[in-house]
Amino acid sequence: MRKNYLAGREGGDNLDIIKAVGREADRRQIPAYLVGGIVRDIILQRKNGDIDIVVKADALSFAREVAKTLKAEAKVYGQFGTATLELPGAGRLDIATARKEWYPHSGSLPKVCPGTLQDDLYRRDFTINAMAVSLNKDSFGELIDEFGGMADLKKKKVRVLHDRSFLDDPTRILRAVRFEQRFGFRIESRTLRLLKEAMDDDGMRNVKPPRYFAEFKKMLSESDPLPCLKRLNDLEGLRFMDSRMRLDIPFLKKIHGNWNLLKEKFPFYSQCPAWLIYFMAVVEPMEGPRLDAVLNKFPLRKDEKQSILQVQKKGDLTRRLSAPRLTRSRVCGILRPLSPAAIAYWRAGTPSRRIEKRLDAYAGRDALIRLEINGDDLKRMGASSGRGIGMTLSRVLEMKIDRQRMSRKEELDAARTLMRQG
Ligand code: CTP
């Protein structure tokens, strides 16, 4: 009897959704499979919220039916014949028509046409990501493993399916390293040779920078990106950023250790994207036109770029924040224009105890202090100009930060006195 890889997974892993897709496929009499990373993770017994489905039929009309059943919204991408459903609870469901892919030239986007399930699995990056599980009733849970994915999972190997894999898609260099380090696997020896050859190939330059960036961001979002960065650095695999790119690993280790402590200790940093902290550390040694080139070629948001540039002005900030006697409100004045990510990064890397203490007082307490009064209170007391109101409120806030405790009445009294003084 064949093994059912989906048995015993009740209560987790979106099994109800997967079963609902299977039932819909049976109703329409089309073959449907779970594919890619989720199959790998089911076998490894790891959580994965992204469900990838391949059908041997028109995925788009199938996805619309599934969306109705699951009460989800379907977004359709005509170019590749795929649809994405944002699931009401969490996670995503991607549905695609089984397809064949070929790359017109190294590093380009693939051309696609409908294909068999085998074509669809063969177009994938590594054997461990090229397995499928059937969702139809008569074969529910059966594994389709044409390229030795299960054997490689057991041997802990990252292996490409064919020799052109990295040439076709050089972003797979980053993926190989990420999976190797995430799972504690090894890149298999022939695959490693192909990876190194691909790095010397012109195809590296054909890849549009946003595609590298998407993969690099995934790497920096791993729970511990350090081993990935170290391995990529050893392989000289950071050339997609800058031809002279080398990492300062001991410095990255320090940032990593301190960042993990900081995000636990201070809720102020909870909104900081971890990948950005590591990205700042990676680009820290760059300056001027080299840094500008990196910031301009990757799709960074304006606020993300600003955080990175704020970090570059650390010398001046360090000098200002090292002054021996600074009131807490002065410290706030220096720090308030900076993003929490820039402050977190600065705190994670600073060698100065005095700066550490000041940044911790800010993140732990002073940045969170708010006034109980507002502009309406001041208007009721006779204030009229918007600018005057703003200035009075920020003066009262400074007083509250320095005194650490002020009641609403004390805030109103302070505002009244300031208004009288003009
Ligand atoms: N894939 C590929 N080549 C790429 C990107 C993706 O062959 N450059 C295939 C792989 O089969 C992969 C699947 O598309 O399993 C889904 O890609 P993605 O969601 O990026 O990867 P996951 O394997 O799900 O990895 P993760 O656990 O990091 O989400």
Query: Are 239 and 281 within one domain?
Result: yes
Query: Are 351 and 405 within one domain?
Result: no
Q: What is the pLDDT of residue 20?
A: 93
CB of 171 sitting under 6 A from ligand 1: yes
Per-residue pLDDT of 152-198, as tens digits, reads 999 999 999 999 999 999 999 999 999 999 999 999 999 999 999 99
Per-residue pLDDT of 11-23, as tens digits, reads 455 888 999 999 9
Binned at pLDDT 50, 70 and 90, residue 90 comes out as: low
Query: Are 393 and 409 within one domain?
Result: yes
What is the arithmetic mean of pLDDT over 101-115? 89
Per-residue pLDDT of 277-331, as tens digits, reads 999 999 988 888 899 999 999 999 999 999 999 988 788 889 999 999 899 999 9
Task: Return the amino acid letter for 174.
Answer: L
Query: Are 33 and 116 within one domain?
Result: yes
The structure tokens listed for 229 are 């960065």
Where do we find the tokens 């059908």?
55
* Measured distance CA(403)–CA(135) in Å, rounded: 65
The residue whose CA has the least distance to atom 25 of ligand 1 is 37
Q: What is the pLDDT of residue 70?
A: 87
Q: The pTM is what?
A: 0.91
CB of 99 sitting under 6 A from ligand 1: no
Question: Residue 22 sits in a domain of what CATH number?
Answer: 3.30.460.10
Question: How many whole angstroms from 92 Cα to the centroid of ligand 1?
Answer: 14
**Within a domain: 323:** yes
Q: What is the pLDDT of residue 338?
A: 95
Show the CA angle centred on residue 245, arms to residues 317 and 289, nearest 5°: 55
Query: Are 151 and 106 within one domain?
Result: yes
Q: What is the pLDDT of residue 299?
A: 96
Q: What is the pLDDT of residue 242?
A: 87
**Within a domain: 189:** no
The helix/strand count (H/E) of the chain reads as: 22, 11
Other beta carbons within 10 Å of 179:
20
Query: Are 32 and 132 within one domain?
Result: yes
Which of 367, 387, 407 is the C-terminal boundary of a domain? 367
Query: Are 24 and 82 within one domain?
Result: yes
CB of 37 sitting under 6 A from ligand 1: yes
**Within a domain: 145:** yes
* Range(s) of the domain holding residue 222: 172-184+206-296
Query: Are 361 and 381 within one domain?
Result: no
Question: How many whole angstroms from 130 Cα to the centroid of ligand 1?
Answer: 9
Query: Are 63 and 130 within one domain?
Result: yes
**Dihedral angle sign, alpha carbons of residues 336, 337, 340, 341:** negative
The structure tokens listed for 196 are 């190194």
**Within a domain: 416:** yes
Q: What is the pLDDT of residue 84?
A: 92
**Dihedral angle sign, alpha carbons of residues 329, 331, 333, 335:** negative
**Within a domain: 108:** yes
The residue whose CA has the least distance to atom 22 of ligand 1 is 37
Question: How many whole angstroms from 176 Cα to the centroid of ligand 1?
Answer: 11
CB of 107 sitting under 6 A from ligand 1: no
Number of independent structural domains in the chain: 4
Q: What is the pLDDT of residue 71?
A: 85
**Within a domain: 397:** yes
**Within a domain: 275:** yes
> Does residue 40 have a pLDDT over 70?
yes
Higher pLDDT, 203 or 110: 110
Which of 328, 343, 367 is the C-terminal boundary of a domain? 367
Query: Are 267 and 325 within one domain?
Result: no
Higher pLDDT, 200 or 409: 409
Q: What is the pLDDT of residue 13?
A: 56
Query: Are 266 and 362 within one domain?
Result: no
> Does residue 235 have a pLDDT over 80?
yes
